[in-house]
Structure 1
């Protein structure tokens, strides 16, 4: 971790970073530890080497493993992470890789990346929660295009569809993600935490966030910093569970 930014690396180079059963199981616990660490302000999810994640490593499953349950648990843990998350994508982002990327708040990719949601190649019913998340991100028509065909799309297509927030030239992904993550660490955690829940569809937390805002000095600090032409020093932090 550096300067409030924790980087989680998907690393299984022999299989283009395909997620093993053990990797799926480890992710929720890792994210829980990062969520409890007050020094962590942003999490970046990326892949080792030239590939983000090529899906699930089916060969790693045992007879008692439920691959869909494992992937959904990891996906939901990532989606529920209370601080900003960024997927930094290069190379293949396919199957379980797209599932994890879609669960992040933001997705930045390098030119040449390829994306696909491939259960139709295996006769698998894509999880309901994953389908709804994908549809909310790119719209029902594009979600159906991806799910029906299982074809890969280029990064430019993913950007137009709304799957990506930014598409960077080759060699510039890491620099841009680091720069943007630093920007996020300088902003109000109160604003970010409330915005994440509202944007993700929570409808039962209006009073909670109104109370948090009323008890915080972030607004006064933000206005004062603006008038004094200085960087704000926001102080709100997530309340302990």
Structure 2
């Protein structure tokens, strides 16, 4: 697959760009003239990117960001008047993002609106720039939001914040986004990238197999879909793993562990 960021074509507005370096993948929305609005072909491209990432076991982390001033202005609203298929496709995309094997981070470099507020929420972690805002206009538009998005908002942020944002179409700033848990960390523009990079390195220092499995169990608990057998199996396997042996030995020797994912 061509990496557009390496060909000089990143100045042309395109479907989202994928760049993979070692254990880290980056996906960048690349329609700055429409605030990185998500079009139907963007959804298809993201599924292709997800396929590539899932097929590469060396990729442990995925970072989302937006080209230029906006993170993303959400799904193309003009499509909604034609068919509900676009919204259904977007719902499938956000659910898939939530369940991806790698740990996912949204680097919110600019405003995030509409459906992309849920796409961001589907990531495991969200780092934002001071000054960013978010806006969920569904009620103002007369749109009943897709069901899995509503479930995700309540399970991750709680009923109160979800009601405020969905039922009043309020715009909130980065301080409230941090307070309600929408953002995990906030940094000035020049510190946001380094903060994300440092957190990526912290994540990569963990045992990947148990890290990825615990992510899935925690998501199941949040969705009230807890699978005792799946969770118990992960626990038992870890007790017999080479990574646990290495982790305990490294702890005793006061050194960094060298995990192999086994």
| TM-score, normalised with respect to structure 1 | 0.92
> Equivalent residue of 1:7, what SS?
strand
Could you tell me how far 1:211 is from its partner in structure 2?
A: 4.0
Separation of aligned partners in 2, 1:26 and 1:73:
14
Point out where structure 2 has 5 or more consecutive residues left out of the alignment.
Answer: 1-19
Count of paired positions: 237
> What is residue 220 of structure 1 aligned with on the other side?
245
Separation of aligned partners in 2, 1:111 and 1:91:
9
Separation of aligned partners in 2, 1:133 and 1:62:
25
Could you tell me how far 1:106 is from its partner in structure 2?
A: 0.5
Q: 1:149 to 1:65 in 2, by over 3 A?
A: closer
Q: 1:160 to 1:64 in 2, by over 3 A?
A: closer
Q: Is the 8 A contact 1:28 1:73 kept in 2?
A: no
Could you tell me how far 1:203 is from its partner in structure 2?
A: 2.2
Q: Is the 8 A contact 2:27 2:62 kept in 1?
A: yes
> What is residue 209 of structure 1 aligned with on the other side?
234
Q: Does 1:44 align with 2:63?
A: yes
Separation of aligned partners in 2, 1:187 and 1:224:
14
RMSD: 1.7
> Relative contact order (alpha carbons < 8 A, sep ≥ 6): 1 or 2 greater?
1
1:29-69 CA distance string (max 9 Å, x none): 31122012012010001111121001122346794562211
Over 6 Å off, 4+ runs: none
Q: Does 1:141 align with 2:164?
A: no
1:135-157 CA distance string (max 9 Å, x none): 11111011000001112100110
Could you tell me how far 1:83 is from its partner in structure 2?
A: 1.6
Separation of aligned partners in 2, 1:162 and 1:88:
15
Q: Is the 8 A contact 1:5 1:182 kept in 2?
A: no
Q: Does 1:231 align with 2:236?
A: no
